[in-house]
Amino acid sequence: MGTNFGSFCDDFFVDMCVNTQLDLPTQRDTILAFFERIQKQFPALSNFTRRETGGYSLEQEDQGERTRWVTLELDRITVGWGEPAKLEQAYEFQIAVLELIPYMLGVSALDIDSLDITFSMDFDYQGNHDEVIAEALLGTSSFSSLLDIPNARPIGCCPSFVVSLSEDCRMQARVAVESRTTAFDIRNEKYKSEDPISLYFSVRRYPQSTPGFNTAHAFLEQCKLAETLMFDKILPCFVQPINNAIAQRR
């Protein structure tokens, strides 16, 4: 399809995440060889850092903001791209890393616990995020009836829902919307302008380690499925209502 969903929000990110059954290698030479190989293919990734959590990250920065990254943690590899011009660019970057990990990190299909593609959207709004989310997504649901209580105001409205996309439940989709408003913000009516409302949509596969399983092909299938669901469900039923609720308050 090729559409960049960034036109529907203020910030847009595409992440691939490989969760492993076993801990990933921690040897200095192995880690450096892995990131050096990535940098050889993608020279713009030049900022190598060790995180406080013990993980490692190789990033590309543009005007102080990271635009692409590869992160190695204890049992997870994350490959992301912020504001890609085309979704295919992000997929190609992620698949290139995915094809390296069996040889550089020893991660076989047997070792993969789950494989995710996640589209993340940020919506800038300086105000009560919980009110926006409640208005946009709760509608006439049972949850919204609680707002009929005298003096009731939404606090901590962060809906999340997971559905199975296959009979064996090995393919799943998750949508979550996150507010960053606190009770302190509401009580004092002071809101941080830099904190956005965030929406996360993921398609996760729990692969069966059958002979001939092609991880890269499976991931690309997930990406196309996630794109279809974004058009059919997420944009009209989540993104547009959030944008409308924000627009009514500006």
Q: Which residue, 32, 85, 26, is CA-closest to 58? A: 32
Least reliable range by pLDDT among 6-10, 208-212, 224-228: 208-212
Distances (CA, A) of 53 to 68, 71, 113, 114: 20, 12, 21, 21
Work out the mean pLDDT of the chain and round it to a whole number.
Answer: 92
152: Cα within 13 Å, side-chain hemisphere: 12
**Number of domains making up the chain:** 1
- pLDDT of 102 > 80? The answer is yes
pLDDT at 2 over 70: no
pLDDT tens digit string along 56-89?
999 998 876 779 999 999 999 999 999 999 999 9
Do 45 and 68 touch, CB atoms closer than 8 A?
Answer: yes
Name the nearest CA neighbour of 122 among 88, 84, 83.
83
CA distance 51 to 54: 5
pTM given for the model? 0.93
How large is the average pLDDT for residues 93-108? Answer: 95
pLDDT score for 1: 47
Residue that has been written with the tokens 């399983």 in this structure: 213
pLDDT greater than 70 at residue 226: yes
**Domain containing residue 137:** 5-247
Residue 73 to residue 75: CA distance in whole angstroms: 6
pLDDT tens-digit series, residues 161-171 = 999 999 999 99
